[in-house]
Amino acid sequence: MKIPERNAELKRTVKSMASVADYLWHKGWAERNAGNMSVNVSGFIRDEVPGDAGNVIPLATAFPSLEGQYLLLSGSGTRMRNLAAKPYRNVCLLRIGKGGTAYTLYSDAKGKMMPTSELPTHLAIHAKLLGEGRTEKALLHTHVNELIALTQIREYTSEESINRLLWGMHPETLMFIPQGAGFVPYTLPGTGVIAEKTLEALASHTVVIWEKHGCLAVGDDLYEAFDLIDILAKSAGIFFTCRNAGYDPEGMTEEQLAEIRKFVTSH
């Protein structure tokens, strides 16, 4: 069955996926089929998507808390440049079945578009967000050049050191990400281990840096998730701009950071 296009809210979500995919491609953060995204659209779905239609596919791990939930995801092997140009051919809609043991697949790509290979990670994160009553509905993962480069420097491979650097490069970073970014030391991509470590980091963060790999963020929508990643990339870019000019960036002092924290908490 096709993804319904008459549902205005669902249509806007697909459009946001296309827009953010375009941002990632033009940023140079989405080589080949790199990156993936998903949005919990359960609040948008009505009778136009029957729960018993489409292809039913079992899950290796059950997610009982997601029973009856609808997720819109980028497709497996999807290039972000293609998702931006033809979104309905590069996304798919899932409905999680009874007990969270399987899902029904809806796709416009003649039924052949499967969800991202990172589906277990997406499901685990959405289950966490839903179970904790959090407002974030969107998840975005991409390969941010500036952050990957930064984690190639041993000095910046801890949560404390990398946040101190990123906060120090630009006031907006601390203003918009006062809790800082979570940090996951290098872990083999696409494994249950990286998913577990990311879930731990998301307990107190909305954006997580994966050492030598990229970044993942959650937000109320994809634009918010993208903004979080973009802010961190800006700070990392300022660091490298100074370094390329032959200078070690001074960064903001502890007093200046304290002033910003005070401003943030009072507004």
Burial 224-259 (b: 16+ CB within 10 A, else e): bbbbbbebbbbbbbbbeeeeeeeeeeebbeeeebee
The dihedral sign for the CA sequence 121, 125, 229, 257: negative
Active site residue 118: yes
Which residue among the candidates 9, 31, 118, 211 is catalytic per the annotation?
A: 118
Q: Tell me how far the alpha carbon of residue 99 is from its chain's centroid.
A: 25
What are the φ/ψ torsions at residue 204 (nearest 5 degrees)? -130, 10
Which are the catalytic amino acids? 118
